[in-house]
A = this chain, B = another copy of it.
């Protein structure tokens, strides 16, 4: 099958690498003007002139980033099957819609308000009780378009720094750790759910994912599975969906979802029987889903800003290197390393060894190292 991918970054690249062995071909449709997928056919279309040409070259369409205009997805959906559907895209692009959907499906979220002015932001902060997190209603990712308010008086400065006309304001969640669940739904409605991952962020960027999440109570995994299954079915979703959650003393609280393969699922490339990329391609092309169980315990380490010592990483017998073919730039995701082990104890040591070769990699601060 000829698969059209909207976007041409590293996620598209890894989708293609997983999809070629299932006899698919890939065409990327790039709206940014700086495609980095580095393989397959790429159509660069900054002015939306070549959409027809793109569609003529593909059988099915999917996307690797959710910040593309819903109108574009809808135009495409009139001509070709698009998975996931434009509705999923629409919900995920808009924090207000997303949180409303979560609420209507019984998925707990932090308490939240909408603010359309600095004054409204101040009022929301007062009502919720600081600290609160203000996020642009649309467009934010990797911690961009966000501000933490320690007191309501910081509202004017936060409003100015974010610079959006509509914010979603959330009460700060006192979480034990950040976790995520990645799942896939097939064209026939079959659902498969990966073991949850524990995620460690720093400066708003994901640094580490450990999977399966250590010391996870089975009822927490079951609860997360119920949430994501509800979302998948409600959206009649086809493909991979990721749901980021906070684990608290009282259970799980949903943070946000992403209608695509997700950074916190990169561990599946070496740590699960079927990677999230292969499963997304299987779903989008109407094939049966693959085995989502873990082969070992593993940790994904993001390579951010600088490549570090690639040769030293390649020498580690338990490390799997995945580079995106991008140039170094502060804060940029350049690749990731998947580290596998038989036990969490060994895993922690291996991750520390690997992090030595990645300048700027923060300490691994997770449920394993806090004990």
Contact = CB atoms under 8 A, between A and B. Distances in A.
Interface of A: 13, 16-17, 20-23, 25, 38-40, 273-274, 282, 287-288, 290-291, 293, 295-296, 310-311, 314-315, 317-318, 320-325, 335, 340
Contact of A20 (B13, B25, B282, B295): B13
A313 to B, nearest CB: 9
A59 to B, nearest CB: 14
B314 A287 contact: yes
Contact of A21 (B22, B274, B323): B323
A7 B224 CA distance: 48
A321 B20 contact: no
A344 to B, nearest CB: 18
Nearest to A269: B21
A290 B314 contact: yes
Contact of A17 (B21, B291, B295, B314): B21
Contacts of A317: 273, 290-291, 293
A335 B310 CA distance: 32
A18 to B, nearest CB: 9
Task: State the copy count for this chain.
Answer: 2
Contacts of A290: 314, 317
Contacts of A39: 16, 20, 39-40
Nearest to A293: B317
Contact of A314 (B25, B288, B310, B325): B288
A291 B249 CA distance: 41
Nearest to A322: B21
Given A20-B325, A39-B40, A318 B291 contact: yes
Contacts of A20: 13, 17, 38-39, 325
Nearest to A16: B39
Contacts of A23: 323-325, 335
A231 to B, nearest CB: 24
The listed residue with most B CB atoms (<10 A of its CB), out of A23, A40, A287, A321, is: A23
A322 B317 CA distance: 25
Most B CB within 10 A of own CB, among A13, A21, A335, A340 = A21
Given A20-B39, A282-B314, A288-B315, 15 more contacts: A13-B20, A17-B20, A21-B322, A21-B323, A22-B323, A23-B323, A39-B39, A273-B317, A273-B340, A287-B310, A287-B311, A288-B311, A290-B314, A291-B317, A295-B295
12 contacts: A17-B20, A20-B325, A21-B323, A21-B335, A25-B38, A25-B325, A39-B39, A39-B40, A273-B320, A288-B314, A291-B318, A295-B296
